[in-house]
């Protein structure tokens, strides 16, 4: 399986949320994982926010950031270049689509153009619906 890893799923795994085991199982069986800069940015911002709000200690956030960075080192990371930005600026099926979701969808569309059989790993209902309307499979 080839996956585009969207933030909601990666965060569920990283933070040990209820669907973390499902996400981990999909990530563990994937032959290829693609993520975008936005996935990593969102994950880091959630950790920074949790520390700022005293929901998490800095040491715990640093440990989770190390886990994320170790995983991301094995992923193919798409940088937010002109092609992704241009696609995100156009409408998607199922509008209205939030800005960050549009960037994820654009990254998945761009990745699909070079990675056959790409599916999207997401737990967000709106992302899952838009992804399906774009003709991509969704996991888990």
Q: What is the pLDDT of residues 12-30, one digit of tens each?
A: 999 999 999 999 999 999 9
Mean pLDDT over the full length of the chain: 96
Q: What is the pLDDT of residue 68?
A: 97
Token digits for 34? Answer: 């693609």
Residue percentage of the chain with pLDDT more than 90: 99
Q: Where are the beta strands (DSSP E) in the chain?
A: 2-5, 32-36, 76-78, 118-121, 137-139
By the 10 Å C-beta count (0-12 exposed, 13-18 middle, 19+ buried), 5 is classed as buried
**CATH number of this structure's domain 2-139:** 3.40.50.1010
Q: Is residue 94 over pLDDT 90? A: no
Q: What is the pLDDT of residue 95?
A: 92
The answer to whether residues 105 and 124 touch, using CB atoms and an 8 Å cutoff, is no
The answer to whether residues 116 and 32 touch, using CB atoms and an 8 Å cutoff, is no
Going from N- to C-terminal start, the domains of the chain cover: 2-139
What is the rounded distance in angstroms from the CA atom of residue 61 to the CA atom of residue 49? 10
Average pLDDT over residues 53-82: 97
pLDDT digits (tens, 9 = 90+) for 97-140: 999 999 999 999 999 999 999 999 999 999 999 999 999 999 99
Token digits for 136? Answer: 């991509």
């Amino acid at each position: 399986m080839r996956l585009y890893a969207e933030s909601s799923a990666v965060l569920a795994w990283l933070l040990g949320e209820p669907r973390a085991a499902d996400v981990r199982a999909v990530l563990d069986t994937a032959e290829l994982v693609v993520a975008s800069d936005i996935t990593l940015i969102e994950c880091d911002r959630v950790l920074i926010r949790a520390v700022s709000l005293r929901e998490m200690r800095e040491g715990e956030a640093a440990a989770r950031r190390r886990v994320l960075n170790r995983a991301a080192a094995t992923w193919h990371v798409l940088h937010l270049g002109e092609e992704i930005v241009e696609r995100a600026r156009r409408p998607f099926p199922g509008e209205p689509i939030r800005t960050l979701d549009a960037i994820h969808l654009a990254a998945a569309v761009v990745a699909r153009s070079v990675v056959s059989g790409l599916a999207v790993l997401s737990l967000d209902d709106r992302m899952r619906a838009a992804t399906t309307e774009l003709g991509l499979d969704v996991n888990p």
